[in-house]
Structure 1
Amino acid sequence: MNDTKFVPVMITPFNLKAKVDLDVVSNLIDFYLAAGVKGFFANCLSSEMYSITEDERLELTQHIVRYVNGRVPVVATGSFGLTVNDKAEFTKKIYDTGIDAVILITGHYANVEDSDDVLLKNFDRMFKLTGNIPLGMYECPAPYKRIIGPDVFKTLLSANRLVYHKDTSIDLEKVKAKIDIVKATKSNLEFFDAHSPNAMYSLQMGAKGMSSISGNFYPEILVWMVNNANDPAKLEEVKWLQAEISRVDPLIHVAYPMSAKYFLRKRGLPVRTISRATALELTPDQKKTLDEIHGSFTMWCERLDIKPVDVEQLMLPKYPLDAAI
C-alpha cells in the first residue's frame, strides 16, 4: 500500500479590502481534496503568515480545521512571539483550533549568528513548555533559512516530540542523511521535502511525501508523483515528469504567491490576485510565462492520463437533496 502524501502549503485568498476571504479558502480546500492531497499545511509562509495578525492566523486555521472536518490531517505554524515563552503560548492557542500538530520555524529558535547549541537549548525549553502537543519543524526561508544538520536533527528526534519535518535543505545528501536517521531511529516523524526538483529522488529515498509550492499551481501533478515515484513500472514516466517539474520550478517562484493566485484564477478558482506580502502586480511577461506553464500542465495531464480537477463542476452550488426547486 502506498502511504506517501502530498501536503500543500496553503495560500491565503483575500477579498477586495485585503481581508482574509474564508469562502474562497473553502473553495480551495475542495479543490485540493479533489486533486487527492492527504493533508494541509495551514498558516505557513505561502499563507503570508507574517503579513496577517495573530487573530487572523487563529481564525484562518480554525476555519480550515472545521471545513476539512477530519478528512485529512492539518498542521499549522505556531512559533510566533518574541520569547520562547511567547511562542509556547501561541502554540497552545493554535493547537486548540484542532490541528494535528504545531509546526515550529527553525529560524525562530536561534539568531543567524547563533550556534546549534543555542537552537537545541531553545527547542528543549519549547518542548518542556508545550506539554504533549505534537510538534514539527520547518526550515522556513524567513526570517532566514536555518537548515538542521543531521547531528542536530538526530538530537531533536531523540526528544520524541517531533512528528513532522518540512525540509528545505535542497541538498540531496543532507536529505538522505536525515531520512536515514528517521529510518534508523524508527521515529514516527513524517519527512516532507519542500523542493519540487527533489521530488522523485527524496521519495525514492523514503520521504513520507512532498510539501512544495508547486501544489498551489498543479496539485494533481504532485499527487501523481508521490503515488508513482516508487513504482518500477512507471519509472520512465516519473523521470520524464521530474524533468518537467524541475524545468518550470524556478519560473513559478517568481512573484510568488501572486504567481500562484494568478494560476489558480486561470484554472477557474475565485482567487483574487491580491497579496499582503507584495503590492506589485504581475508583469505581462510574468503572466505570459505562467500561461505557457499552464499549457505544459495540460500536456502533462494528457501524457500521463491524469484527470485535472473540474473546477467548474466543483464550484457549482451544493444544494441539499430535499431543497425546493
Structure 2
Amino acid sequence: MTKFIGTGVALITPFKADLSIDFDALERLVEHNIENGTEYLVISGTTGESVTITAEEKKEITKFIIKVNNGRLPLVLGIGGNNTKTVVDEIKTTDLSGIDGILSVSPYYSKPTQEGLYQHFKAIAEATSKPIILYNVPGRTSKNMEPETTLRLAKDFDNIVAVKEAGNNVHQYLELLRTKPDDFLIISGDDDLALGVALAGGSGVISVIGQALPKEFSEMIRLGIAGKAKEAYKLHFDLMPITGLIFSENNPSGVKAVLEALNISKPHVRLPLVEATDGLKKKITEALKVLGKS
C-alpha cells in the first residue's frame, strides 16, 4: 500500500456565504495540493464536516473531486459511523470505482467494548475488497481502540491495511510500531506528532494543516520517513506555531481561516461549528507572515 505512504490531507468542504458547497474553491484546494507535493487526498473525513454534509452532497463532492483529480493522486473516502449496518450498506451501495481506499472512523458515542470494535470493523472488511484505513480518534469517539484490537484486525483481514491513529498518545504510537505486521501502515492523525511518528517508523500522516501548506508539510514528512531528522525538524519548528493555532478553537474553523488568508476558500462552517474568532484570524495572519505566506 505504498500509495498511502507520505502526506495525505483531510480535505475541508468549502462553503459559500449561504453555506452551499463552493465547488470553485474545492477545485482550487485540490489543485493546490496536487501541485505542491501532497501524496493522497482524503474526502469526507471529520475535517470535511462530514456530520453536517447530506448523503447527496457527499456524492456530489466525491464525484467532483474524482473528476478534478483525474487520476493524479490516490483518493480515500471516509465511510464510517456508529451504526454498523448503515456503514456496511453505504459501502455496498457507493460507486467506489474512482476510490483507492476507505477511511472508517471508530464508532462514536456508543462506546463499544474492544470486541464490539473488532466485530464492527470485521463487518466492514467483509463488505468490500477495497483497502481500509482504520481511524482511531478517542477524543471524538470517547472510546480508545487499543493496539491489541487494531493489530488483531490487521492480522485477520488482508484489506485492513493501515490505521490513522489520532489519540495524541506517543506510547500508543510506539506500541503499534513495535508490534505491527511488516506490511501494516501506522499513519499519524496528529499533526503535531506526525514527524516523530515518521522518524520512529510510521508511514506518514493524514493531515489538516498539510492541505494549506502542502509543500512544506509534505517535505517534512518525506524527510522524516527518510530518517533525516535535522532537516525535518527545521521544517517542523517553522510550522509549529500555525499548527497549534488551527486547533486552538475547533477543527476545521482554524484551517479554514488559514485557507481564507491564502485566498483559496472562505471561512464559513455549518452549525454547530462557528467561524474562527477575529483574534484567532489575526494570529493566523501573523503566523503566515512569518512563514512568508501573506
Is the shorter-chain TM-score for this pair beyond 0.5, marking a shared fold? yes
**Distance apart, 1:115 and its partner CA:** 1.6
Q: Structure 1 residue 186 and structure 2 residue 188: aligned? A: no
Mapped contact 1:74–1:101 kept (Cα < 8 A): yes
Residue 292 of structure 1 deviates from its aligned partner by 1.4
Q: Deviations over 1:111-153 (max 9, x none)?
A: 22x320121122223333x142322211245752433222111
SS in 2 for 1:32: helix
In the superposition, relative to structure 1, how do residues 275 and 42 fare at CA in structure 2: closer, same or farther (>3 Å)?
same
TM alignment of 1:175-324, pairs within 5 A: 175-182=173-180, 185-187=181-183, 189-231=184-226, 235-253=229-247, 254-269=249-264, 271-278=265-272, 280-298=274-292
Q: 1:154 aligns with which of 151, 156, 179?
A: 151
Cα deviation digits, residues 191-234 of structure 1 (max 9, x gap): 210112212211111111111211133222211101212556x5
- Higher mean alpha-carbon deviation, 114-123 vs 29-38, is at 114-123
Does 2:77 align with 1:76? yes
Instruction: Report the residue type matching 1:68 in the other structure.
Output: N
CA distance in 2 between counterparts of 1:136 and 1:293 reads 33
CA distance in 2, matches of 1:275, 1:103: 22
Q: Which residue does 2:124 correspond to in 1?
A: 126
| Residues 196, 245 of structure 1: 8 Å contact kept | no
CA–CA separation in structure 1 for the residues paired with 2:170 and 2:139: 21
Structure with max Cα Rg:
1
Q: Which amino acid aligns with 1:160?
A: D
Aligned twin of 1:301: none
What is the DSSP-based 3-state SS (H/G/I as helix, E as strand, rest coil) of the residue aligned with 1:211?
strand
In structure 2, the CA distance between the partners of 1:61 and 1:145, relative to structure 1 (3 Å rule), is farther
Say how many residue pairs are matched.
290
Is this contact kept in 2: 1:135–1:162, CA < 8 A?
Answer: yes
Shift, 1:42, TM fit: 0.5
What does residue 170 of structure 2 align with? Answer: 172
> Within 1, Cα distance between the matches of 2:113 and 2:163?
21
Query: Quick one: distance in 1 between partners of 2:134 and 2:77?
Result: 10
Cα pair distance change 1:77/1:146, threshold 3 Å: farther
Identity of aligned residues (%): 19
Report the CA distance between 1:20 and its aligned residue. 1.2
Asked if the contact 1:6–1:209 (Cα under 8 Å) also holds between the matched residues in 2, the reply is: yes
Distance in 2, matches of 1:120 and 1:44, equals 21
Question: In 2, Cα distance between the equivalents of 1:260 and 1:197?
Answer: 14
Cα distance change on mapping 1:231 and 1:296 into 2, 3 Å: farther
**Alpha-carbon RMSD:** 2.5
Runs (5+) with no aligned partner, structure 2: none
Letter in 2 for 1:92: K
Q: 1:279 deviation in Å? A: 5.4
Structure 1 SS opposite 2:256: helix
- Tell me the CA shift for residue 5 of structure 1: 1.2
Alpha-carbon offset, residue 68 of structure 1: 1.0
Q: Structure 1 residues 26 and 139, CA, compared in 2 at 3 Å: closer, same or farther? A: same
> What's the secondary structure of 2:202's corresponding residue?
coil
Q: 1:142 to 1:19 in 2, by over 3 A?
A: farther
CA distance in structure 1 between the aligned counterparts of 2:283 and 2:267, rounded to whole angstroms: 16
Q: Which residue of structure 2 lines up, in the alignment, with residue 89 of structure 1? A: 89
